[in-house]
Amino acid sequence: MLPNRTGHFWEKRYHSSGFDKNDYKRALNTLRYIHANPKASGMRSGFFYDFSNYGTHDRLTDDGLTEWHPAFLALGKSLEECAAKYRGFCKKYKPQPKPENSYRWGSKLLPKVVKGKKKKTSPGQMKLPWAEWELLTTEVQAVAEKFVLANCYDRKIAMKLFVQDGARY
């Protein structure tokens, strides 16, 4: 791998591996990494995010979907102690800074060659056409609302996702 080079041409292929269910240290580190993604990316200043289950771990709420991992439950003798220790563990997280001078394959040449062309967005990065979708079923809507409200930081703001023009979705 060459220094200051990123992208599929320069880097190793993505690799992921599982871990033993009794590896509590890795389980907690993985859970914290997932919960810290909105903070690390700059989307949020803290760990609370409406589409994350961090709130279930921090406030011990029931979102109807989350089951606490045995590693979380091993942090203390009571759920309140587990939550307090996990909260402290998360606050210590410091994401690795991204290198500033990285050059993707063709990044210097491509802007000079292609001018005025709109950048094509991959399907995974496209905005979802919520208005074009059919309304959610009542059951799916109820689970989604329960999850978001159990995990959000501010319930008033989160409710705006479900109430528009006085109608509840």
Tens-place pLDDT, residues 118-156: 666 665 555 656 555 555 677 877 888 888 888 887 888
pLDDT confidence of residue 10:
64
What are the sequence ranges of the domains in the chain? 1-11+19-114+121-169
pLDDT confidence of residue 71:
94
User: What confidence tier does 111 reach under pLDDT thresholds 50, 70, 90?
Assistant: low
**Residue 168: beta bridge partners?**
163
pLDDT confidence of residue 162:
76
Taking the C-alpha atoms of residue 35 and residue 78, their distance in angstroms, rounded to an integer, is: 22
Running DSSP on this structure, what letter comes out for residue 126? Answer: S
pLDDT confidence of residue 79:
93
Does pLDDT of 83 surpass 90?
yes
Q: Say if residues 20 and 71 touch (Cβ distance below 8 Å).
A: no
Running DSSP on this structure, what letter comes out for residue 125? Answer: G
Does pLDDT of 12 surpass 90?
no
Per DSSP, the three-state class of 46 is coil
The rounded mean pLDDT for the chain is: 77
* Helix, strand and coil percent figures for the chain, each rounded to 5: 40, 5, 55
Q: Which residue has the higher pLDDT, 123 or 75?
A: 75
Does pLDDT of 84 surpass 60?
yes
State percent of the chain over pLDDT 90: 22
Which of 2-6, 28-32, 39-43, 132-136 holds the top average pLDDT? 28-32
Q: Side chain identity at 4, as an amino acid letter?
A: N
